[in-house]
Structure 1
Amino acid sequence: MQDLGISLLFKGSNMARLFGGLWVTVQISLIAVLLSIPLGILFGLFMTLKHPAARLVSRVYLDFIRIMPQLVLLFLVYFGVTRTFGVNLSAWTSAILVFTLWGTAEMGDLVRGALISIPRHQYDSAEALGLTRLQTYTYIIIPQTLRRLLPLAINLTTRMIKTTSLVVLIGIVEVLKVGQQIIDANRFDYPTAALWIYGVVFFLYFFACWPISLVSKRLEKRWR
């Protein structure tokens, strides 16, 4: 059993350390999501404006965030900004900032898509019934938008949880880094432990994202 390396998982506090690393991952993801949702809603509303300047700004921001890999953004913020402008940003702050910027762009595009998917005749029907613009959005547009938006926003949360594994490269000790530390510290006594450690990391990510995916699928089926 020891030769297989599986016993290393239960040696000392290794399993507790892995769960602690997962909690760091979840914390970064949740904070970024909670910041991205309101900012993304505002950005999505901004993207629906007809003004040419608004369209240009939103398109440039969205394309920049989507084209630039998240890892490059992390390095740009954590290494580039701190050294060039003398701003003291911790790895934790840099990670939350980058993932909030990314989440805001993705969430904004989801909001924009949900808003423009509402047929124009529903606005016209509300106007024919004498509803004010506020009433139209409150009773007709927003409820339908939420039905279209919520499952997609939940999927964005799972993507963010998985992508936060990149923060290991700027020194944050999350679940992947903890796994690497355990493997490196025991590489001579447990030469095959990498399979089991990374296997556990895989299942930790899976069980962190799987319930969220189930909620998204259930909502899609319920509101279809």
Structure 2
Amino acid sequence: MSDWTVLFEGTNFARLLYGLWITIRIAGISLVLSMVLGVFMGIAMTSQNRVLRFLMRVYLEFIRIMPQLVLLFIVYFGLARSTGINLTGEISAIIVFTLWGTAEMGDLVRGALASIPSHQYQSAAALGLTRAQQYRYVILPQTIRRLAPLSINLATRMIKTTTLVALIGVVEALKVGQQIIDANRFDFPDAALWVYGLIFILYFLICYPLSVAARKLEKKWA
């Protein structure tokens, strides 16, 4: 029997697709939260308040230095024991990826805001707009154009990084693949090649179109 048929044994293929849905759900929720919080963080990083800028910089560097896997273990295992809060693996993953995504998005927003010419702020102020109105009507619309391609790239990074959640027991695509391989290791000795190959294809089918879209937007709005 050809080992590739393991992909269609029983409900294996459907399980892989459902695992992929879990991956997309974690990445999607985390990305939406990160985008909202990241905008506020980016604005804070360009604030005239030095203390606020310092705190945001410390947060950014802390998240960048700390490996996501360590953060996953801290939230999933550490918080559960120290606080008694019972967090599921999926909720823990969303928390960690939101923390990471917020830091990355905040820095992207900061860079986009910094790229806006100073005369745009001055012109908006000359029109009598308040600080909030300046951001709403003048600054943020231009910032969004600069951010769109970068946000899509962040989405692809987040989708790929979610494979780490298999290590805290979340049954996403990679974890399902491991379960299928373990359950069929005697009947299908080379199942790993086909299972992981299919997982690669599934991730490629999601991430490649996003990468193409990011490049097109970057050229269009450059």
TM-score by length of 2: 0.95
1:111-147 CA-partner distances (Å, limit 9, x unpaired): 111001111122234445x352455434432221111
Query: Whole-Å Cα distance in 2 between the matches of residues 95 and 59 of structure 1?
Result: 23
Query: Whole-Å Cα distance in 1 between the matches of residues 57 and 137 of structure 2?
Result: 30
Query: Whole-Å Cα distance in 2 between the matches of residues 198 and 167 of structure 1?
Result: 16
Query: Whole-Å Cα distance in 2 between the matches of residues 121 and 149 of structure 1?
Result: 20
Q: Does 1:70 align with 2:68?
A: yes
Query: How is 1:119-198 mapped onto 2 (pairs within 5 angstroms)?
Result: 119-128=117-126, 130-133=127-130, 136-198=134-196
Query: Whole-Å Cα distance in 2 between the matches of residues 67 and 215 of structure 1?
Result: 29
Q: CA RMSD in A?
A: 1.4
**CA separation of 1:79/1:138 partners in 2, compared to 1, >3 Å: closer, same or farther?**
closer
Counterpart for residue 90 of structure 2? 92
Deviation of 1:10 after TM superposition, in Å, equals 1.6
Query: Whole-Å Cα distance in 2 between the matches of residues 135 and 214 of structure 1?
Result: 34
Counterpart for residue 31 of structure 1? 29
Query: Whole-Å Cα distance in 1 between the matches of residues 8 and 211 of structure 2?
Result: 30
**CA separation of 1:67/1:174 partners in 2, compared to 1, >3 Å: closer, same or farther?**
same
1:110 to 94, 108, 111: 108
Counterpart for residue 7 of structure 1? 5
Query: Whole-Å Cα distance in 2 between the matches of residues 126 and 100 of structure 1?
Result: 33
**CA separation of 1:135/1:84 partners in 2, compared to 1, >3 Å: closer, same or farther?**
closer
How many equivalent pairs are there? Answer: 221
Deviation of 1:55 after TM superposition, in Å, equals 1.6
Query: Whole-Å Cα distance in 2 between the matches of residues 32 and 206 of structure 1?
Result: 20
Deviation of 1:107 after TM superposition, in Å, equals 0.7
Deviation of 1:81 after TM superposition, in Å, equals 1.0
Provide structure 1 residue ranges, at least 5 long, that are not aligned to the other structure: none
1:43-95 CA-partner distances (Å, limit 9, x unpaired): 11111112221022101111110000000000011111111221211111111
Which of structure 1's runs of 4+ aligned residues deviate more than 4 A? Answer: none
Query: Whole-Å Cα distance in 1 between the matches of residues 91 and 119 of structure 2?
Result: 45
Query: Whole-Å Cα distance in 2 between the matches of residues 57 and 136 of structure 1?
Result: 24
TM-score by length of 1: 0.94
Q: Does 1:49 align with 2:21?
A: no
Query: Whole-Å Cα distance in 1 between the matches of residues 70 and 102 of structure 2?
Result: 17
